[in-house]
């Protein structure tokens, strides 16, 4: 949920995906990249990584980032625990009534053998978002682990999105908000598309917030967006 505090805006972005798809690794790599080099966002404080074997009862990670161009804009970034038994916890992170998610990044484990698990994770997300994906909640997709062999074809995953009604044709005004699909690698040594995908998600989140009043803005509504440097 968009929170306002002392003139600052806090937007909530969630990395969603099956267990082991790379969400925690992505968040750690994003943190390192934005800490070590000059980017449009910087991390504030440390990441909170709560792993299963830590004995903690809460299984999620979170981090806070700040826009360096719009210093009043902050991003509260979460990952969910992907394992099947953690659905109630995911609901708590994603759809808590007083703290709804503003944007989602779906992280897919690209290995072909996990296609069905990925689809199940997407179905759960759809169910929790109650028809608000894309039209109210901007969505980005990462086909992660592209460094591995035997991986899902990008076009095939696009078909999954089409089947799930998460892909609009050019005649639809939501067409411009179709999820961008990034082919990523989260491992820090060979990281790929980690910063770029987050940046695009953050950009969309701000546009939905500023121009759409919490909904996908039309092209006309954002036409003069060039004057706003996000």
Ligand X SMILES: Nc1nc2c(ncn2[C@@H]2O[C@H](COP(=O)(O)OP(=O)(O)O)[C@@H](O)[C@H]2O)c(=O)[nH]1
Beta bridge partners of 70: none
Of 105 and 166, nearer to ligand X (C-beta) is 105
When asked if residue 101 is in the footprint of Mg ion (CB under 5 A), the reply is: no
Smallest separation (angstroms) from Mg ion to the CB of 188: 15
Closest CB to ligand X belongs to which residue? Answer: 22
- State which of residues 14, 15, 21, 24 lies at the interface with Mg ion (CB under 5 A): 24
Of 63 and 82, nearer to ligand X (C-beta) is 82
Of 144, 155, 156, nearest to 106 by C-alpha is 144
- The option from ligand X, Mg ion, none interacting with 125 (CB < 5 to 8 A, set by class) reads none
Of 3 and 49, nearer to ligand X (C-beta) is 49
> How many C-beta atoms surround the C-beta of residue 151 within 10 A?
18
Q: How far, in whole angstroms, is CA 168 from its chain's centroid? A: 19
Smallest separation (angstroms) from Mg ion to the CB of 89: 12
- State which of residues 11, 12, 14, 21 lies at the interface with ligand X (CB under 6 A): 21
When asked if residue 23 is in the footprint of ligand X (CB under 6 A), the reply is: yes
Q: Classify residue 206 as exposed, middle or buried by CB count within 10 Å of its CB (0-12, 13-18, 19+).
A: buried
When asked if residue 144 is in the footprint of ligand X (CB under 6 A), the reply is: yes
When asked if residue 148 is in the footprint of ligand X (CB under 6 A), the reply is: yes
Query: Which long-range CB contacts under 8 A does 204-208 form with residues at least 24 apart?
Result: 204/103, 204/138, 204/140, 204/177, 205/11, 205/13, 205/75, 205/102, 205/103, 205/138, 206/11, 206/70, 206/73, 206/230, 207/138, 208/102, 208/103, 208/136, 208/138
- The option from Mg ion, ligand X, none interacting with 197 (CB < 5 to 8 A, set by class) reads none
By CB under 6 A, name the binding residues for ligand X.
17, 19-25, 79, 82, 144-145, 147-148, 185-187
By CB under 5 A, name the binding residues for Mg ion.
23-24
């Amino acid at each position: 949920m968009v929170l306002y505090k002392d003139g600052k805006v806090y937007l909530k972005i969630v990395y969603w995906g099956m267990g082991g798809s790379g969400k925690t690794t992505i968040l750690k790599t994003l943190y390192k990249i934005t800490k070590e080099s000059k980017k449009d966002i910087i991390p504030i404080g440390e990441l909170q990584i709560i792993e299963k074997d830590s004995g903690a009862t809460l299984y999620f990670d979170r981090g806070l980032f700040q826009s360096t161009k719009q210093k009043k804009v902050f991003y509260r970034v979460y990952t969910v625990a992907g394992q099947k038994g953690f659905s109630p916890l995911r609901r708590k992170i994603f759809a808590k009534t007083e703290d709804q998610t503003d944007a989602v990044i779906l992280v897919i484990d690209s290995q072909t053998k996990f296609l069905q698990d990925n689809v199940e994770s997407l179905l759960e997300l759809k169910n929790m978002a109650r028809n608000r994906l894309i039209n109210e909640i901007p969505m980005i997709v990462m086909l992660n682990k592209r460094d591995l062999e035997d991986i899902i074809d990008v076009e095939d995953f696009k078909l999954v999105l089409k089947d799930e009604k998460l892909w609009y044709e050019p005649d639809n005004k939501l067409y411009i908000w179709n999820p961008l699909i990034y082919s990523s690698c989260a491992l820090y040594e060979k990281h790929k598309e980690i910063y770029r995908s987050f940046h695009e998600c953050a950009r969309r989140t701000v546009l939905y917030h500023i121009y759409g009043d919490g909904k996908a803005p039309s092209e006309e509504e954002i036409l003069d967006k060039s004057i706003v440097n996000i």
